Amino acid sequence: MAMRKFLNDPEQLVKEALVGVELAHSDLLRFDRENQLLISKSAPRQGKVALISGGGSGHEPLHGGFVGVGMLDAACAGEVFTSPVPDQMLAATKAVDGGAGVVHIVKNYTGDVLNFKMAADEAADEGIKVEAVVMDDDVAVQDSLYTAGRRGVGATVLAEKIAGAAAARGDDLAAVAGIVRHVNERARSFGIALSSCTPPASGKPIFDLPEGEMEVGIGIHGEPGRRRAPLGTASEIAELMVEAVISDLKPASGANLLVFLNGMGGTPQIELYLMFAEVEARLSKAGYKTTRSLVGSYITSLEMAGASLTVLELSDATTALWDAPVNTPALRWGV
Amino acid sequence: MAMRKFLNDPEQLVKEALVGVELAHSDLLRFDRENQLLISKSAPRQGKVALISGGGSGHEPLHGGFVGVGMLDAACAGEVFTSPVPDQMLAATKAVDGGAGVVHIVKNYTGDVLNFKMAADEAADEGIKVEAVVMDDDVAVQDSLYTAGRRGVGATVLAEKIAGAAAARGDDLAAVAGIVRHVNERARSFGIALSSCTPPASGKPIFDLPEGEMEVGIGIHGEPGRRRAPLGTASEIAELMVEAVISDLKPASGANLLVFLNGMGGTPQIELYLMFAEVEARLSKAGYKTTRSLVGSYITSLEMAGASLTVLELSDATTALWDAPVNTPALRWGV
C-alpha cells in the first residue's frame, strides 16, 4: 500500500498525532488519551460557559487547533472522516463544565448530529445544561451523501472564534448559543476541489478526479457537489464561488463582511492569496466592504487540493468578538 | 496544460498573489508593485536596524508572510523558484533604512547570494550601511544543484524572528547581524520529500518521484538530496532526520532546543504533528529539552508532500527573543 504519507500504523495515526499536538502546545491544552479529547488547560472555569466541538479527524486544524483560551474548551477527535462517539462528547462536556453550561457546536453530518444529541441528553441527565447548535452553512447542495439538509463547513471556524470570545467575556449559555446561531445564519460557504485525497486506513482516493477537472460544490469528506466541470481559471472559479455564496446569503447593501478563503490542505498559500484577491475584487465591485479576513488552511480534507469561500456578514458586535484576544494553536492574537 | 492549480496567467501569478497578501494584511504591510516587494507599514523607523530577506516565490509564507512588526521590514519576491534581482533588493534596502543600517538575510543559493551582494554594494555606494548574512543550515549535502556549500532552509525563519526581535528592542547593526549569524551557527536542518511539485510556468513536475519512494535530504527547489529510498514509516523517517541534524549540530548535553517541524506545502497537519511527536521522543530520549517548538508549513515548495526538521540550540538570550512580540501574517504573538 504505497501512499505519499508520513505514517506508522493507520489505526494509531489520530492518537499519535494528538500526542504531537499536546507536546507542541502543552501551555494551552492537554490530551485525554482515554477519551481522545484535547482539553484546554484553562477549563473548567467556574461560571464561564464552555464550548466544545468535534468531528472526524483529517480536517486539522479543525477542531483541536482551536482549543485554548477565547475559543473552544475541548475538541472530540473521531477517527479520520468518522464521527466521534457519544461517550467522547459526554466526557468532554463533563470535563469543561464550570457550572454555567456547555455549548455544543455541531457540524451538520448525520453521525455527528446523532452522537452529539445522545451526549447532550446524557449530560442533561447528569445535571449539566447543554445547548447544541448545528452548523449548516454550505450552500452547494441541499442534501448530500452524509447529510440531511446543508452541510456544516467553514462557518464553524468563525462561530468557534466569535462565540468563544462571548463566553470568555462572561455571556450566559443562551447568549453564547445565540451567537453561534447568529453566525450560522449570517454565513454561507462554497467549496471547489481540484484533487481527491487518500484516507490512510483505506489507502485509496475517496473519489476520482482527473487532472484538468474540478468538483464544484465539494464537501469536506469528498461528497460530490453540484457538478463536475473542466478546470476554470482562478478568475472564473472566484466568480462561481462568490455568486454561489452571495446569492444565498444576500448581505445588506454595503455590508461589512468577514471573508474566509480556506485551503483544503494541499493548495499552496500563493494560490490561496491569488484566489482571495479575485474574490475580494468581486465583493468590492458589488459594493461590499471586506473589513475582516482570514486566508489559510483551517478546515481541510487531508491533502486535498482545493479551496472554500466562507462569507460572514458582520455586525459591530460580531466584529468586536472576532477581534477579541484568542490563544490557540491555530489562531492567536491579542495575547 | 492541465494542472491542479488555481491560476490565471502563470506569468502574473506572483503579482496577483501579492495583491491578495496586501488586501488581507493591509494593517501590516503594503505591496510595492513596481519592485515586487512587501514592505512593513511600520518601516522605515528612525534609529531601528531594518531586516530584509527575499528569494524565489513558491515557498510561502517565506518571506512575505514574515513582514510586519518584530520580524522582517521588507521581503523581495522573485518569480517562482527564481531569485529576485538586485534592483529589488536595493529598492527594499532604501525603503526600510532608518539610518541605523540594514541586515540582509540571504539563503545560500548562488543567484540569491550574487544578487544580494550587488544590491549591498550599490546601497553602500549610496551611503546605507548593510550587513549580509548567508544562511546555510541544510546538512543534507555539501554542494548542490544551485549551491556552493550547504543550502539555506528552515533556520532562515528562526533567524528572521529572533533577529527581528533584537532589532525591535534597539540592538545596533553589528549586534543584529551577529544574532543572525549565531542562529545560523546553532541550527541545522534536514528535509524529506514524498512527492515532487509543479511550477505553474512549466506545468511539469520538477522531478519524478514514484509513489512508495522518498527523496532523503531534498532541497526546497527539489534539488536531489543524499539518496532515494523506499518510503519508511514515520518512526524510521524521524530517526533519519534527527540523526542527520543532531550528529552535525552536536548540541551541548541536556541543551534547550527549539524544534521546528516544517511541512513542505502538501503534507497535512495530522502528519506533521505525528512527525513532531516522533522527533520529540528521540530528542527527549537523547537528553535534550524541547523548550520551544514550531509545527506547520512555513518554508514550502509549492504543493510538495514532505517535511523538514530544523533544530536550534537555544540560549536564554535567543529564547527571550523568540518569545518577544511579533505581528506578521504568518507568525503572531504577544500583540
All residues of chain A having their beta carbon less than 8 Å from the beta carbon of residue B57 are 270
* Mean pLDDT across B202-229: 91
Does a structural domain hold residue B7? no
**Is residue A56 located within the same domain as residue A167?**
yes
Q: Read off the pLDDT of residues B126-138 as tens digits, 9 standing for 90 and up.
A: 999 999 999 999 9
A201 and A224 co-located in one domain: yes
Strands (E), A124-180: 130-135
Q: Does any domain span residue A5?
A: no
Nearest to B133 by CA among B163, B172, B111, B96: B163
Give B39-90 pLDDT, tens digit per residue.
Answer: 999 999 999 999 999 999 999 999 999 999 999 999 999 999 999 999 999 9
CA-based nearest distance B15→chain A, Å = 9
Do B42 and B174 sit in the same domain of this protein? yes
Domain assignment present for B73: yes
Which of A4, A198, A298 is the best mutation test for B, with the most CBs of B within 10 A? A4
Per-residue pLDDT at A211: 86
**pLDDT tens string B2-16:** 579 999 999 999 999
Judgement on whether residues B181 and B191 belong to the same structural domain of the protein = no
Q: Are residues A179 and A201 in the same domain?
A: no
Q: According to the model, what pLDDT value does residue A1 have?
A: 40
Of B185, B218, B250, the position where a domain reaches its end is B185
* Contact residues for B194 (Cβ-Cβ < 8 A; gap 6+): A4, A5, A6, B209, B214, B231, B267, B305, B306
CB contact under 8 A, B211 and A4: yes
CATH code: domain of residue A52: 3.40.50.10440
Instruction: Tell me what pLDDT residue B2 has.
Output: 54
Question: Could you tell me if residue B181 is inside a domain?
Answer: yes
Phi, psi of A217 (to 5 degrees): 95, 35
- The four Cα atoms A222, A225, A230, A233 give a dihedral, to 10 degrees, of -90
| ipTM metric | 0.97
Residue B76, domain extent: 12-185
User: Which of A136, A169, A185 finishes a domain?
Assistant: A185
* Mean pLDDT, residues B214-235 taken together: 93
pLDDT in tens, B164-208: 999 999 999 999 999 999 999 999 999 999 999 999 999 999 999
CATH number assigned to the domain comprising residue A297 = 3.30.1180.20
Nearest-angstrom CA–CA distance, A2 and A172:
51
**Residue A7 located in a structural domain:** no
Looking at A136, A156, A185, the residue that finishes a domain is: A185
CB atoms within 10 A of CB A113: 21
Instruction: Please list the residues that pair with B50 across neighbouring strands.
Output: B102
State the smallest CA–CA distance between residue A21 and chain B in angstroms.
6
**Shortest CB distance from A333 goes to which of B274, B293, B332?**
B332
Q: pLDDT > 90: what percent of chain B?
A: 93
Residues B181 and B208 in one domain: no
Structural domain count, chain B? 2
Say if residue B32 is in the same domain as residue B163: yes
Question: Does A127 lie in the same domain as A195?
Answer: no
Same domain, A32 and A157: yes
Residues A172 and A237 in one domain: no
The pLDDT profile of chain A, 335 residues, written as one tens digit per residue, is: 457 999 999 999 999 999 999 999 999 999 999 999 999 999 999 999 999 999 999 999 999 999 999 999 999 999 999 999 999 999 999 999 999 999 999 999 999 999 999 999 999 999 999 999 999 999 998 877 777 889 999 999 999 999 999 999 999 999 999 999 999 999 999 999 999 999 999 999 999 999 899 999 999 988 888 899 999 999 999 999 999 999 999 999 999 999 999 999 999 999 999 999 999 999 999 999 999 999 999 999 999 999 999 999 999 999 999 999 999 999 999 99
pLDDT for residue A245? 98
Examine residue B3 and state whether it is found in any structural domain, yes or no. Answer: no
Rounded to an integer, what distance in angstroms lies between the CA atom of residue A83 and that of residue A58?
A: 11
Q: Is residue B267 part of a domain?
A: yes
